[in-house]
Copies of this chain bind each other. A is one copy, B any other.
């Protein structure tokens, strides 16, 4: 059994209250006794029981972070960002993965809200009605990470998917002169994916380019799906001269297929992506893509959460939109 303040109190011949105060460095304890207690605690190898303290203080000093996945090229950067800020503010971070499953989310979210954390940052591929209700009911401070803001009452931070997709498409057209641009979509259920598609379409439209449905194929953000999509596009009779993949992973899939077909990027076909994951820098030729500052998202989310937790009365929910940038590689 761990040792408790009671035992220290006995040895020091004081009450547990005094021990508690001394340990918390209260100014109203005589220096001598404080010192005595401190030494005793040290000797006895005392370490306070967090759970007990939490029970009475109602504060854990832990913030929770729920992500669809914890591995990959993208999520770890978010974790890093959140971790950085919470660490600076003396909070511990509790990371959990929802395993991309809906029903796991509420289990975890429930768990966290059961007084295990002081606040939660939640990132979901998309939000079901069920989750939406859950989120609204949760009493602890919460910040959403997403590329769209569909819950007014809950603060969020996200990137501007539309703008990012629009600008890289526009770049392809205006600066590089491509007119035949195909698009590999993300999953329909993913809100970010839908916005990127919108951005792509809008850019075409604004440049008076007709949208060719044959050139819009579905992917699911994995390398594999990028490969499939690329093979399909490149075996069309009327091939596109450029492919815009809705994320870098799928762009990487394109690279593989293009390579396997003995073609060259960008000579035979241009490829651009979205996310600017570390890998994109290593593709050769280097990928032109939309920079999504994942660590910045994490930092902003953490800051926002801390801000909410710090303010007594519920402040008005904020929605922060982080803008993307263009990374010019050699793939177009």
- Residues on A facing B (Cβ under 8 Å): 2, 45, 47-52, 54-55, 60, 69-73, 75-77, 79-80, 83, 87, 92-97, 99, 108, 110-111, 113-116, 137, 139, 252, 255, 259, 278-279, 282-284
Contacts and interface: CB of A to CB of B under 8 A. Distances in A.
Number of chain copies forming the complex: 2
A93 B95 contact: yes
21 contacts: A2-B115, A47-B110, A47-B114, A50-B116, A51-B54, A51-B55, A52-B55, A52-B115, A71-B76, A72-B76, A76-B76, A79-B95, A92-B96, A93-B95, A93-B97, A94-B94, A94-B95, A252-B282, A255-B282, A259-B284, A279-B282
Contacts of A255: 282
Contacts of A279: 278-279, 282
The 10 residue pairs across chains A and B that have the minimum distance between CB atoms = A71-B76, A95-B95, A50-B114, A71-B80, A51-B115, A76-B76, A51-B54, A70-B79, A51-B55, A49-B115
Contacts of A139: 2
Nearest to A113: B47
A48 B79 contact: no
Contacts of A97: 80, 83, 93
A50 B282 contact: no
A216 to B, nearest CB: 26
A45 B48 CA distance: 32
A80 B69 CA distance: 8
B96 A108 contact: no
A153 to B, nearest CB: 17
Nearest to A298: B71
Given A50-B116, A93-B95, 8 more contacts: A2-B115, A47-B114, A51-B116, A71-B79, A92-B111, A94-B95, A278-B279, A284-B284
Contacts of A47: 110, 113-114
A108 B95 contact: no
A115 to B, nearest CB: 5
A13 to B, nearest CB: 26
Contact of A108 (B48, B50, B92): B92
Contacts of A73: 278
A259 B99 CA distance: 39
Nearest to A61: B111
A266 B151 CA distance: 54
Nearest to A295: B71
Contacts of A93: 95-97
Contact of A76 (B75, B116, B282): B75
Nearest to A82: B70
Contacts of A2: 115, 139
Which of A71, A99, A114, A283 has the largest number of chain B CB atoms within 10 A?
Answer: A71
B49 A114 contact: yes
A50 B2 CA distance: 20
A114 B70 contact: no
A49 B113 CA distance: 9
A77 B69 CA distance: 11
Contacts of A49: 55, 114-115
Nearest to A280: B282
